[in-house]
Each structure stands twice: as structure tokens, then as C-alpha cells.
């Protein structure tokens, strides 16, 4: 059954009440036509519950806008949703990615995450390629997808809105990695489901890393908004030491925008529930609105919290990842790099759910606390005890 407008409806009920499903919900393909966004294809999802979000087909099928009942969830940066022809992740010493960084979801990978690094390219067996220069958070989010399908699918009285596409991150004498992404949302629902499959289509042994930069903004993010997570241990903080409390923002409670705020990044070790799931949420009690992200510990064992509370760039990042903040050098040193041979693959699952009202916020907080109660202090001392990760 479909839950719409406070009623439980069958497919027959829905179809009897309109000449086209698009009156209530659906997926629509469109192309943006002005400014730096010109030429970007996007898919607009409307579930009928008040949840609306858009998928950027030409930006690795990342998620741009997200709102619920007119309240923004996803962050819009000053860089905007640049058309792919304007993106150059290798520019500015590997920081060019920042000129196209915006939206609810930015995918980082497929062979690199975190800051720019240079490494040996010996594994590609090409004499003229001595090294690989990896830009910040990799290149995949700048690659347009080949859209393989989208629409609405009824199964009995249940209707799923969906899209799927293939993203190829490849070069001659280098990596040949393929991402197949499927995004789903139930008609009448408040959740976005994402499934990614990464395959090495080449014949060179290739490193693989993934990070999901899930960035929420105002009005969900505001002074007093709370970060909820089953934190077993705080492992690392970018600002630890004498400056740990200098800016007056701990890991739990967010502040209003601050003009001179310097980004703060935390890595937490999370406890998974009996189903291998890790739930992290940002909630705004005053607004009665929250956003919960669910990942699987076995797929994405690391979790980061990015606080970019600077005025004009105000956002909080919820970031499940395959590797520690130690990045590529640390993964190599600790024997934790994932290497994909020809045909090897990895699959990732994410669920992003709007929490609508105090009851749903309380239920989310209870689910998380039942697994592991987070530290009560705002500035828990980072331990530096990075758990050993399984190499691939």
C-alpha cells in the first residue's frame, strides 16, 4: 500500500484519483539551461510525501538539491552545480574539485579520497607514467554517467521511483574503474536508498577507496542542532591539542555560522548494530526535523564528521568511508589499501531518511543510543587508536 496525504491507498485508488501519476509523484529528466549549470542533466524525484531531491546525471549521479515540505536538507555551496565541461579536478594543485563541490551527496573516489597526493604508477606497467597525481577526493564526481534507466515501478500496490546509471573513471595506461549506481525512493516515503557497485574493468591491479560526502545545511543545520551517533571512541580531530576548544564548537552541538570559523574534522569509531548497520543523524529539535544516514560497517568501516560552520559556507558533513583519515599513505603503511584485480568488485549501500517530527527524532535517537551511547562531553580526547581495517 502507498501512504499519501494521510491515507493508505492501493494502486487502483491512486490511479482512480488522477489521470497521471506525475500529479502526485514521479521521476522527471530535465536539463539545466543557464550559467555555470548549463547542460547539466538532472532527474527530479518527488515522492508525494514532501520529499523532493535531484540526481545530477552528469556529475556521477550525485544528489544535488534535497528538501522536505519546503525545508532544505541538502547544502548548496557558492561553487554551484557546475556543468561537467567546466570541472577540472586536477587544477589548482589538485584542489580543482572544490570549484564544483556542492549538494547533498558528493561521491569521493574511486581510487582516492582525502587530500592531494602523488604516488608511484609502477602497477600500471607503462614506462612514461612514472607517477599518479591524485587530486583531493579523487575524480569520479566530475564524470558524467551513462543513464541506463529511470521511472516508476509498481509491484502490486507498492510503487518505487528509481534511476540507474554507469560512470566510467578510466584512462589509457591507468585505472579503468566502473561505478554502477542505483537510487530508489518509495512513493509516499521519506527515504533515499542508494546502491553502488564498483568494478575494475581493466587488467592492472588498481587501488580503490570510497567516501560519501553527505552534506546538510540550513535550516536543518542551525544553532543547537545535535549530532547523534553510536560513537565507541573518538579517534582523531583535525584541531586537537591546544586549539581543541578554541572555536567553542564540540562534536555534539552545532553553532550558528561564524565569520572566521576554520573547518573541524573528526573521525569516530562507531558501533554497528546486530545487522551491521551504523546510523548517524543530525537533528533540529526546534524545527522538528532530522536526517539519518545508515551505512554498513563491513562496507564502510570509517566515519567522519565535517564541521564547516563558516558564514557563507555553512554545512555539516556526515561521511562514511572505506579508509581512515590517514589517507592513501596511511593505508599503504598499515597494509589496508583495497586493491582490485580485473573483475574484482565492491558494493556499498546507503539509506538517507528524513525524520519528520519529534516522534521520529526520538525514535532515531533511541535506536542509536541502544547500540552505543555517545560521549557525554563535547571535547572527548582523541585516542589515535585506529582499528585495523581489512585490506582487499
Give tens-digit pLDDT for 27-46.
Answer: 999 999 999 999 999 999 99
| Cell numbers that stand for 11 in this block | 494502486
Mean pLDDT confidence for 163-176: 97
* CA dihedral sign of residues 234, 239, 240, 242: negative
Per-residue pLDDT band at 87 (split at 50, 70, 90)? confident
pLDDT of residue 85: 87
CA 164/CA 27 separation, integer angstroms: 12
Whole-number pLDDT of residue 183 = 99
Q: Sorting pLDDT into bands at 50, 70 and 90, what band is 392?
A: low
Grid cell, residue 90, equals 586536477
Q: Which residues pair with 315 in a beta bridge?
A: 308
- Mean pLDDT calculated for residue range 337-353: 98
How far is the C-alpha of 239 from the C-alpha of 248, rounded, in Å? 12
- Within 10 angstroms of residue 366's Cβ, the number of other Cβ atoms is 9
Using the predicted structure, report yes or no on whether residue 391 has a pLDDT greater than 80.
Answer: no
For 380, which DSSP code?
P
Q: How far apart are CA 277 and CA 119, in angstroms?
A: 34
Helix (H), strand (E) at residue 219: none
CB 353 within 8 A of CB 191: yes
Q: Return the bridge partners of 26, or none.
A: 46
CA atoms within 13 A on the CB side of 125: 5
Amino acid at each position: 500500500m502507498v501512504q499519501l496525504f494521510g491515507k493508505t491507498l492501493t494502486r487502483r485508488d491512486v490511479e482512480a484519483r488522477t489521470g497521471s501519476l506525475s500529479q502526485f509523484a514521479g521521476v522527471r529528466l530535465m536539463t539545466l539551461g543557464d550559467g555555470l549549470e548549463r547542460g547539466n542533466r538532472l532527474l527530479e524525484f518527488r515522492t508525494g510525501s514532501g520529499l523532493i531531491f535531484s540526481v545530477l546525471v552528469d556529475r556521477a549521479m550525485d544528489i544535488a538539491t534535497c528538501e522536505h515540505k519546503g525545508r532544505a536538507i541538502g547544502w548548496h555551496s557558492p561553487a554551484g552545480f557546475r556543468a561537467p565541461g567546466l570541472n577540472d579536478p586536477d587544477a589548482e594543485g589538485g584542489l580543482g574539485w572544490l570549484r564544483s563541490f556542492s549538494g547533498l551527496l558528493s561521491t569521493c573516489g574511486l581510487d582516492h579520497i582525502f587530500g592531494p597526493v602523488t604516488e608511484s604508477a609502477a602497477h600500471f606497467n607503462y614506462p612514461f607514467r612514472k607517477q599518479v597525481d591524485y587530486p583531493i577526493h579523487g575524480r569520479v564526481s566530475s564524470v558524467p554517467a551513462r543513464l541506463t534507466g529511470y521511472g516508476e515501478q509498481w509491484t502490486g500496490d507498492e510503487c518505487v521511483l528509481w534511476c540507474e546509471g554507469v560512470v566510467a573513471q578510466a584512462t589509457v595506461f591507468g585505472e579503468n574503474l566502473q561505478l554502477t549506481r542505483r537510487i530508489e525512493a518509495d512513493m509516499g516515503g521519506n527515504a533515499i536508498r542508494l546502491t553502488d557497485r564498483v568494478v575494475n574493468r581493466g587488467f592492472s591491479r588498481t587501488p580503490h577507496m570510497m567516501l560519501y560526502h553527505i552534506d546538510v545545511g540550513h535550516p536543518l543545520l542551525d544553532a543547537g542542532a545535535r549530532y547523534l551517533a553510536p560513537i565507541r571512541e573518538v579517534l582523531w580531530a583535525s584541531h586537537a591539542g591546544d586549539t581543541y576548544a578554541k572555536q567553542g564548537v564540540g562534536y555534539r552541538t552545532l553553532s550558528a555560522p561564524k565569520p572566521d570559523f576554520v573547518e573541524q574534522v573528526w573521525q569516530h569509531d562507531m558501533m554497528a548494530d546486530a545487522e551491521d548497520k551504523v546510523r548517524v543523524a543530525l537533528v533540529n529539535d526546534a524545527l522538528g526535523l532530522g536526517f539519518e544516514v545508515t551505512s554498513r560497517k563491513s562496507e564502510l568501516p570509517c566515519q567522519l564528521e565535517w564541521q564547516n560552520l563558516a558564514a557563507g559556507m555553512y554545512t555539516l558533513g556526515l561521511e562514511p568511508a572505506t579508509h581512515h583519515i590517514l589517507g592513501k599513505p596511511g593505508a599503504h603503511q598499515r597494509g589496508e589499501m583495497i586493491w582490485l584485480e580485473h573483475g574484482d568488485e565492491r558494493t556499498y549501500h546507503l539509506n538517507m531518511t528524513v525524520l519528520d517530527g519529534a516522534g521520529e527524532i526520538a525514535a532515531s535517537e533511541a535506536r542509536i543510543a541502544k547500540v552505543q551511547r555517545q560521549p557525554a562531553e563535547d571535547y572527548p580526547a582523541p585516542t589515535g587508536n585506529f582499528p585495523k581495517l581489512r585490506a582487499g
